[in-house]
Structure 1
């Protein structure tokens, strides 16, 4: 058979791979090794759309080059020998179960590091006598962790996952060492900013590489493992930060991470396949200069400026500085200028850092924006729920934190269990809607809470936010990656991550703005008497002072907070409703094994 006829024959055999398409996307799992019948069965009862030969080729290559190494070349033909081989793409189970735990472990260390600052920053700023710089410790990490993710996505597509993952891990190690050795607050802030660069690469590439190695039908299971690692890391970081600072000092809290990261780095060198991802430069035979030229460096740079300036303005405005502060205004002005420039550049880029079709082509655009509004709602509830227990129920901070334990438990259970449910049922749309409805309910219930509501009812009313968070968001991740070709995996992950971070930050900023304006209105309306102005000032500055107010004034202040929080929770309900409406009408395929 001639080479041309072989190509035609190959295209004919793999044509069924395209039968599961919706809205003109390529199919979810199209490894060149699997039979056409198996791929056809992946999406039952889905409409078929005509495709060009180039699109057929793209679909065939979706997972063909995802993970290859010399000792894994014939894994697919031998896959029936392994109990879990049918889950995997071009990697043996033995190698996968050595490498994947390393990825999970490093993923957990990175999230542990990010959550430490919640407990450590008071100790660190006190050590450097720089309490006014506390917000920058977290802000600097957040900015670099989020804004630079598109670089990791596109560069790993071009040069392969291995060198980029090793680079990100090395940066994470060196900057963690820097954090522990910093001799000034400026040096520490710079270290945290650079650590965010490494941690962002580690966490985003973990998800991308999992998609490289696991077939779409089974990704939910492995997403659950990652969710579990994330949940454990976040809980340990928040719980252990203060303990570590008290027992061994804040510098040692960073020092104990170093051997863990170093061991992980060594294991990555040993266990990670030599070739992962599209590796466009190697497969296309590009020189280094040609490979660099293929990357949308200008678009990625402008994206960094756009995201960083928006996050900076939203994170500082109304929380650290007033909205009229020059830093906040400058950041938001830079964002307003950079955004249209970014859209113009990306609309003309051959391989954009953030493909604009992700933002306007359903169903991916719907899920991305649904995640954005979901995080707006989630953070509106979670950020203000402790305030309800402290300012309305007059509970101490420790007790108010415990009242959110039900939401945290629901989040952990649902985020772990949902992956197995998706794999078992093959359903994506159903669980998206379940999560969206749970989130909507958890937004509505707090609007009815008041001073006389039993505490156990308040706790149960807020708990569903964890269910919505733990259900809708993980399923969205699986669905968006499933609807993306191999060449889009990395950029799809980073795009989703950016909008989730924006939603989280805006949830805090917007809800704070709503609350403060509503509180100012209700305090002036409800607080009366000769000392009204003084009482209003005290109530706005210190929640801890509310219980010590005389009974009449305390009742007036509590009522003002209750009504202000109701308005704030109503805004969260609006965000939840928008998130649900964005996904209620989309069509998603059912995954079949």
Structure 2
């Protein structure tokens, strides 16, 4: 568990640790206009490859797959730390993302291999805690290294932790290997499906990353990327149904009501969590004048709420063997929390904000690992790897979409409100809201700016209310399935 949690920690923290280091990286490498790709390249490969590791670990074995992912991740991080130009750094971040995708999925898969379903929620809850902790301390550690040591240590710090993880996995992780020669295993790989899936996801993710930021949403490049991406995904689905002998994502999984509901709700969960993690610090910075470190600390109630929800859900499942009720309660609490966040204004006290974040954190936490247990209980134990990898994928893609959706809402609301305030340089403010302090505007204009920003951020959370409501309605459709107490499929018992 220690080794697997460390592996997940590395992958999760690498998603956020560079956020506070990007300006310094861009300045030192002389490529400030390209620094967003340092974050985007990691997110691109991590998201696109999530579904693949489940099937690959079935073919080649859990231990070889997780060791491959860890080594690729560490090599990518080492190259990132030594990079002398922005292109090397971007490529190396993409390489690290290839490994990071495996570390997230395979850690959950391995735990699912060695722990029976009726006790699995407690163990899987540890990874929810790792996600919550890494999401908060990532930007804090990144800022500290950048300010006091060097931005290169944002990447180098992964090497000693990764080395410990590697040794723990090599010496302590014992899982039976699939039989057969390497040639037989290579023949099992669905190459056509792999190419179509990765290519389709890359086109869709590039459209999401660029849309509304580098190019307008109605730009022909964005529209073309969406069209090509969706066309490739449709071809992938057809190939999985009619061509592949051992498909990467068996379409038969989606016949299970519980699995389909968990995938949709997993995307909503990722969207909500990422929206809060990325945009609440902006609220703290603009409304309260906090530094990045202070904003990160004030986000702790949300993470503590998630950890509390994950723990409570795991204990309930372990005691009763029931899951559906946890998702129902969590969805209701999350809906209430989203509604409270829409009431944020310049006069909201920090006590109220802490309360709001705790409420929605608990709601999302109750859902976090519970939906995975429900999905796993529906399929056979032999299908656990692909079920887990796909749920992680929908969670990550939901988070990616969430950032794009929230960014579009924020920009639209801000553009409408800031255009009426005299003396503002909207171009500079789009890059950094703190630039308001250097514009020499009147106190009244500064107050109007703060009100506009806070209103825009509170507006971000309005879509979360119906989303969490839909999540609750979908969860009512869950079918109760008794949790297995051993690691064998029913048909083998």
After TM superposition, the score normalised by the length of structure 1 is 0.74
Post-superposition offset of 1:472: 0.4
Question: Aligned residue for 1:101?
Answer: 2
Structure 1 Cα separation of the partners of residues 278 and 74 of structure 2: 31
Structure 1 Cα separation of the partners of residues 283 and 60 of structure 2: 50
Report 1:151-190 matches (<5 A): 151-190=52-91
Distance change in 2, residues 1:218/1:463 (3 Å): same
After TM superposition, the score normalised by the length of structure 2 is 0.87
List gaps (5 residues or longer) in structure 2: 486-493
Paired residues of 1:481 and 1:493 also in contact (CA < 8 A): yes
Structure 1 Cα separation of the partners of residues 299 and 13 of structure 2: 20
Whether 2:327 is the aligned partner of 1:437: answer no
SS in structure 1 of the partner of residue 63 of structure 2 = helix
- 1:151-171 Cα offsets, whole Å, 9 max, x none, are 322121112212222222222
Post-superposition offset of 1:223: 0.9
Comparing 479-488 and 316-325, the one that deviates more: 316-325
Distance change in 2, residues 1:137/1:264 (3 Å): same
Question: Aligned residue for 1:385?
Answer: 280
Question: Aligned residue for 1:459?
Answer: 354
SS in structure 2 of the partner of residue 275 of structure 1 = coil
Whether 2:213 is the aligned partner of 1:312: answer no
Paired residues of 2:52 and 2:389 also in contact (CA < 8 A): no
Distance change in 2, residues 1:180/1:569 (3 Å): closer
Q: 1:571 aligns with which of 457, 463, 469?
A: 463
Paired residues of 1:389 and 1:400 also in contact (CA < 8 A): yes
Question: Aligned residue for 1:34?
Answer: none
Paired residues of 1:224 and 1:417 also in contact (CA < 8 A): no
- 1:154-204 Cα offsets, whole Å, 9 max, x none, are 121112212222222222232222222222211111111111111211221
- 1:370-403 Cα offsets, whole Å, 9 max, x none, are 1112322333444433444455x45344455444
Structure 1 Cα separation of the partners of residues 105 and 484 of structure 2: 27
- 1:478-537 Cα offsets, whole Å, 9 max, x none, are 22122222331121112111111111011111122123223334456xx37xx48x5877
Distance change in 2, residues 1:458/1:124 (3 Å): same
Structure 2 Cα separation of the partners of residues 505 and 242 of structure 1: 23
Paired residues of 2:305 and 2:365 also in contact (CA < 8 A): yes
Structure 1 Cα separation of the partners of residues 350 and 93 of structure 2: 39
Post-superposition offset of 1:270: 2.8
Structure 1 Cα separation of the partners of residues 146 and 435 of structure 2: 28
Q: 1:510 aligns with which of 385, 401, 405?
A: 405
Distance change in 2, residues 1:386/1:268 (3 Å): closer
Structure 1 Cα separation of the partners of residues 167 and 453 of structure 2: 53
Paired residues of 1:410 and 1:463 also in contact (CA < 8 A): yes
Question: Aligned residue for 1:428?
Answer: 323
SS in structure 2 of the partner of residue 451 of structure 1 = coil
Whether 2:481 is the aligned partner of 1:589: answer yes
Number of equivalent positions: 481
Report 1:121-520 matches (<5 A): 121-273=22-174, 275-276=176-177, 279=178, 282=179, 288-323=182-217, 328-348=222-242, 349-359=244-254, 361-391=256-286, 393=287, 395-398=289-292, 400-520=295-415
Q: Which has the larger radius of gyration?
A: 1
- 1:441-477 Cα offsets, whole Å, 9 max, x none, are 1111122333333332233223322112222021112
SS in structure 1 of the partner of residue 94 of structure 2 = helix
Paired residues of 1:389 and 1:395 also in contact (CA < 8 A): yes
More RCO (CA 8 Å, sep 6+): 2
List gaps (5 residues or longer) in structure 1: 1-99
Distance change in 2, residues 1:162/1:297 (3 Å): same
Structure 1 Cα separation of the partners of residues 4 and 172 of structure 2: 10
Report 1:28-177 matches (<5 A): 100-177=1-78
